[in-house]
Structure 1
Amino acid sequence: MERERKKLRLNPLLITMNITGILCLICCIMILVLILSGNQTKEPAKDAMALEPGRTYTAEEVDALIAEAKSEGNEEGKEDIKEDIKNAYTNGTGIVHELRLLFPNDIVFYNNGKYQFVPISDTIPARTYDPAGLVVNERNEMEYQVNGQTESVKGIDLSRYQGEVDWALVAADGVDYAMIRIGIRGYGTGEIVLDDTFDANMTGALQNDIDVGAYFFTQAISEEEAIAEANAVIEALAPYKVTYPIAIDVEDVNDSAARTANLTPEQRTDYVIVFCETLKAAGYTPMIYGNLKSFCDMLDMERLNDYEKWFAFYDTYVYFPYEISMWQYTDSGVVNGIEGNVDLNITFTRKWGQ
């Protein structure tokens, strides 16, 4: 008995550490549950999130899902999850990174104050590039390498916001291609407006042996408007030798008064297809530009397998399970000949151009 009492007196620190560890794990789970249930926006707990089509999850069900994910591993695996949660906060990667680890069969992104979960489709072509081949080079730019050899091609995209460009310096800085904005349709007025630097940029790039593609920001709300946008693009491109794709830029303008605010994904996809098919009939390679919200919330990707994808995701990796042809990886690039920042892109192979 004396020995047992002595042992108890020697272990209060160990007991305290165990209790602290358990409390930390409970806190982490509670944080995840609160976020997933929408409590961070002070909405009722009954406002559950959709994790798969046709079903929503309450806070209790999310709690059970997390518990199930943890129970599938051993004790070491549980500790790994705790460590990931801690790192998500201390390293600034945020909770969305942790959710993506916990739900590998979904595409997870933040959308309108909530986290959205979209099941990965097996009817959309999966990526064929090896993510391990994405590297940051000595210029702090992204490259795609195969067996240590660079396979990617460096490009930029730009518009009137980059001002006057010295294209000779751009070419000397290693830029192989440029995606140049043709114009926009206003999200309020609906008027098609051509970019006032388009002709100068196309001419300057081509004169310096930089391959060119182009893009147009759509706000079409009918098939007729989509055709009108495509025809405006075709007319603007007529004087130039275009070797790269022509992209339709699909983005959320985050304005409830926008003329496209009430479009369904089916309607928007209809208009994108009409735009792309009109370009294809004119001899151009159509492409669709967008981010996670564009492709996973605004469009029906399963209907767009025939078209090239240009994906915007600003990091040193690509969070997207599907095939893409072009990756816009930063909007803070620096290129000689351009004042201020510019978007940087890579294609994964020399698919177009010289």
Structure 2
Amino acid sequence: MTSKDIKNRIKTRDLTLLVIFLALVAWIRPTFHQSYGSDQSINQTSLDKTQSTATITGLDASHFQGEIDWNTVNHDGFKFAFVKATQGTDFTDPRYQENIDALKTTSLLFGSYHFFDPSQDALQQAKFFLQVTGKKHNLPPVLDVEITAGVDKATIQQNVLQWLTFVEKEISCTPIIYTSTDYWNQNLGDKFNRFPLWIADYTTSLQRPSGVDQWLFWQNTNQAKIDGVTTLVDHDIFNGNAEKLASATCGLNP
């Protein structure tokens, strides 16, 4: 074989290897993009999965999420869930009872929340919430406070406190306040420090409200993709271990 033949064979081999390499790249790239991609919600899912291995995680949902496969959620490593029960003085979430019935078949700890309207009668809202939920939760009830509805700060504080103290007395369990850092700073504040706090703060590092040393739950995104839920959903982190979560229950028997 001449040196020219050898050079030609080497060129042919190199060209063949290049074609194979390019074919592999073309096959791998779409697979990688579909699995991880650049979509924020997909990246958030990867973050959530990582957090699930290191912390106690859960989710909260309402009828906006449609039908949820709670057994799939349960088996995917989540430990707790909150579902919307009521809003104002007369709205019951259409999927509340369905969610509660399904959650009872899992090992998830769960609770119910009320979306608070500061412009409506606080006592009527509290009574309506308890009328719908009774004791259908083992985690404490939650008051979701995130709108002002045109009401001034002093009235918001008065109404929120009335709801919390009435529910606490009726079921002998201290409710949780759900709110954002900004809302707490602008409308609530120190007089509510004795109530457990669930903070909505969509950052990679929790920004606690002014004067707050302790928090119970952190809603770190509303864009999570979770198996068993067909839409984007709120993702939450518990501030503690499994034993602390179990001790945070109301001792109720839903």
Tell me whether the two structures share a fold, i.e. TM-score over 0.5.
Answer: yes
Name the one with the larger helix percent: 2
- Match in the other structure for 2:221: 330
- Match in the other structure for 1:345: 236
Q: Which runs of 4+ in 1 moved over 6 A?
A: 142-145
CA drift at 1:283: 2.1
The counterpart of 1:218, out of the listed 96, 116, 125, is 116
The one-letter code matched in structure 2 to 1:283 is S
- Match in the other structure for 1:200: 98
Closer/same/farther in 2, CA of residues 239 and 168 from structure 1, 3 Å limit: same
The counterpart of 1:235, out of the listed 131, 140, 150, is 131
CA drift at 1:243: 2.0
1:280-327 superposed Cα distances (whole Å, 9 cap, x missing partner): 11223311111123101122x111011011101112101125221110
Contact 1:184 1:193 in 2 (8 A): yes
Closer/same/farther in 2, CA of residues 337 and 302 from structure 1, 3 Å limit: same
Q: TM-score, normalised by structure 2?
A: 0.71
- Match in the other structure for 1:292: 181
- What CA distance in whole angstroms lies between the structure 1 residues aligned with 2:90 and 2:200? 24
Q: Secondary structure at the match of 2:146?
A: coil
Q: Which runs of 5+ in 2 are unaligned?
A: 1-42, 248-254
The one-letter code matched in structure 2 to 1:348 is N
Contact 2:61 2:84 in 1 (8 A): yes
Contact 2:217 2:236 in 1 (8 A): yes
- What CA distance in whole angstroms lies between the structure 2 residues aligned with 1:335 and 1:295? 29
Q: Which runs of 5+ in 1 are unaligned?
A: 1-135, 186-190, 254-259
- Residue 280, structure 1, aligned to residue 172, structure 2: no
Could you tell me the percent identity over the aligned residues?
Answer: 22
The counterpart of 2:79, out of the listed 154, 158, 176, is 176
Q: TM-score, normalised by structure 1?
A: 0.52
- Residue 319, structure 1, aligned to residue 204, structure 2: no
- Match in the other structure for 1:310: 198
CA drift at 1:252: 2.7
- What CA distance in whole angstroms lies between the structure 1 residues aligned with 2:84 and 2:177? 14
Q: Secondary structure at the match of 1:352?
A: helix
Contact 1:142 1:346 in 2 (8 A): no
1:6-47 superposed Cα distances (whole Å, 9 cap, x missing partner): xxxxxxxxxxxxxxxxxxxxxxxxxxxxxxxxxxxxxxxxxx
- What CA distance in whole angstroms lies between the structure 1 residues aligned with 2:44 and 2:118? 40
Q: Which has the higher contact order (CA 8 A, sep 6+)?
A: 2
Q: How many residues in Structure 1 have an aligned counterpart in Structure 2?
A: 199
Closer/same/farther in 2, CA of residues 298 and 180 from structure 1, 3 Å limit: same
- Match in the other structure for 2:60: 157
RMSD: 2.5
- What CA distance in whole angstroms lies between the structure 2 residues aligned with 1:142 and 1:226? 39
- Residue 246, structure 1, aligned to residue 141, structure 2: yes
